[in-house]
Structure 1
Amino acid sequence: MKKTLILVRHATAEDQTLLTKDFDRKLNSKGLAEAAVMGEWMREMDIKPDIFVTSPASRAYETAVITAGKLGVDVGSLVSNADIYDGGPEAYLAAVNTVPETYSKLALFGHNPDITYFAEYISGASIGSMKKGSVAIIEFENFKWEEISAKTGNLALYKTPKQVRDVD
């Protein structure tokens, strides 16, 4: 059975200040627009994940909530995984490897540089650096979630908000 992993880097967030912890940074107006554009694009492309797993950091969680809303998914079903915030690419792999087999499409919302490293690790593709709000779709043929590891997937698509619609 084919598995599809939809990696989403959080959209543009407010700058870090002395008063705001990195974890608590929220999306700014550009980020809100980027997340909405990408959610609408996913709906138009009929990319609808069965399960949403997200970093609990504000900017990633907000990106997941906006995307879920555009796809008509109950935000109460979002799964928060604290390890994704600062656990390195290994945390992304652990999150993927523990998804129940009843799901075939997983959306994983996270942060650079780890999300880019992870995308390149499992696909063997060279993405460069995932742009804020961008989506990388990686497909796996005849693998269970627990079997996914280095170079087991194929990068099917990489799309940035700017490519979908200029939100600047």
Structure 2
Amino acid sequence: MKKTLILVRHATAEDQNFRTKDFDRNLNNKGMAESQAMGKWLAELNVKPEIFISSPASRAYRTAEIIAGELGVNISSINPRPEIYNGGPRAYLGAVNTVPETFSTLILFGHNPDITYFAEYLTGANLGSMKKAGIAFIDFENLKWEEVSAKTGNLSLYKTPKQVRDDE
């Protein structure tokens, strides 16, 4: 059975300053608009992730909440995974490898540079650097989630908020 992993880099957040810890940085207005646009785009594609996993950092989790809202998914179903924040690509792999087999579509929200490294690790594709609120679709043929590893996936689609706006 085909599995689809949807990787989402968090949308644009407020700049870091001495008053706000990196973990607590929130989305700014641009980031909220990006998240909404990408959520609407996913809804138009009729994408239906069965499981949502997110870094618990404010900017990633809020991106997940907005996109879930656009997809008509209850935000209480978002699974925060603390290890994704600053855990490196290995933490992303651990999150994916432990997804129950009953799910075929997973959406995961995280941070650069780790999310880009992870997408490239899984597919061998060269993404450069995922843009804020960028979304990568990676397909796995005849693999269990626990079998997902280096170069086992196929990057089927990568979209940025600018590309979505330009397509309208």
Distance 2:124 2:52 in 1: 24
C-alpha distance after superposition, 1:71-90 (max 9, x if no partner): 00000010000000010000
Distance 1:119 1:48 in 2: 20
Residue ranges of structure 2 left out of the alignment (5+ in a row): none
Match of residue 17 from structure 2: 17
Q: Indicate the SS of the match to 1:76.
A: helix
Aligned length: 166
C-alpha distance after superposition, 1:95-131 (max 9, x if no partner): 0000000000000000000000000000111111000
Determine whether 1:50 maps to 2:53.
Answer: no
Distance 1:26 1:78 in 2: 17
Residue 90 of structure 1 aligns with an amino acid whose one-letter code is: R
Match of residue 160 from structure 2: 160
Q: Normalized against structure 2, the TM-score is what?
A: 0.98
Match of residue 99 from structure 1: 99
Could you tell me how far 1:47 is from its partner in structure 2?
1.2
Equivalent positions of 1:1-168 (< 5 A) are 1-165=1-165
Distance 2:46 2:9 in 1: 19
Cα RMSD for the two superposed structures: 0.5
Q: Indicate the SS of the match to 1:6.
A: strand
Q: Indicate the SS of the match to 1:136.
A: strand
Distance 2:69 2:154 in 1: 28
Distance 1:134 1:48 in 2: 17
Distance 1:74 1:103 in 2: 17
Q: Indicate the SS of the match to 2:19.
A: coil
Q: Indicate the SS of the match to 1:158.
A: strand
Distance 1:119 1:133 in 2: 14
